[in-house]
Amino acid sequence: MNRLLNSIIENNKKWTKEGKVASYIPELYKMDPDLLGIYVCTLSGEEYFSGDFNKKFTIQSISKIITLMLAILDNGKDYVFSKVGMEPTETSFNSIINLEIKDPHKPINPMINAGAIATVSMIAGKDSDEVFQRILKFARKISGNPAMDINQNVYKSEKETGNRNRALGYFMKSTGVLDGNVEEILDVYFKQCSLEVTCKDLARIGAMLANDGVLPSSGERIVPRDTARIVKTIMVTCGMYDASGKFAVDIGVPGKSGVGGGILACVPRRMGIGVFGTSLDEKGNSVAGIKVLEELSKQLDLSIF
Residues within window 109-148 making contact with ligand GLU, judged by CB under 6 A? 113
10 Å CB burial of residue 269 (0-12, 13-18, 19+) is exposed
Residue among 48 and 155 whose Cβ is closer to ligand GLU: 155
Please say if 174 is a catalytic residue.
Answer: no
- What's the closest the beta carbon of residue 175 comes to ligand GLU, in angstroms? 20
Residue 91 CB partners (closer than 8 Å, separation 6+):
97, 98, 112, 242
Helical ranges in the chain per DSSP H: 2-12, 63-75, 77-83, 97-101, 113-120, 128-143, 152-161, 163-174, 182-193, 199-210, 225-238, 244-250, 287-300
Please say if 259 is a catalytic residue.
Answer: yes
Q: Is 158 in the site for ligand GLU (CB under 6 A)?
A: yes
Tell me how many residues contact ligand GLU (CB under 6 A). Answer: 11
Q: Considering 21, 39, 40, 61, which one is annotated as catalytic?
A: 61
Residue among 60 and 89 whose Cβ is closer to ligand GLU: 60
Q: Is 93 in the site for ligand GLU (CB under 6 A)?
A: yes
Residue 190 to residue 203: CA distance in whole angstroms: 23
- What's the closest the beta carbon of residue 265 comes to ligand GLU, in angstroms? 16
Residue (of 151, 239, 136) closest to 196 by Cα position: 151
- What's the closest the beta carbon of residue 154 comes to ligand GLU, in angstroms? 9
Q: Considering 39, 48, 155, 241, which one is annotated as catalytic?
A: 241
Residues within window 42-71 making contact with ligand GLU, judged by CB under 6 A? 60-61
Instruction: Identify whether the C-beta of residue 82 lies closer than 8 Å to the C-beta of residue 105.
Output: no
Residue among 50 and 157 whose Cβ is closer to ligand GLU: 157
Residue (of 231, 258, 281, 254) closest to 71 by Cα position: 231
Quote the radius of gyration of the chain (alpha carbons, Å): 18
Binding mask 184-203 for ligand GLU (x = CB under 6 A): ---------x----------
Cα 108 to Cα 114, 159, 266: the distances in Å are 8, 24, 23
- What's the closest the beta carbon of residue 279 comes to ligand GLU, in angstroms? 14
Please say if 267 is a catalytic residue.
Answer: no
Can you give the binding site for ligand GLU, defined by CB under 6 A? Answer: 60-61, 93-94, 113, 158, 165, 193, 258-259, 284
Catalytic positions, please? 61, 64, 189, 241, 259
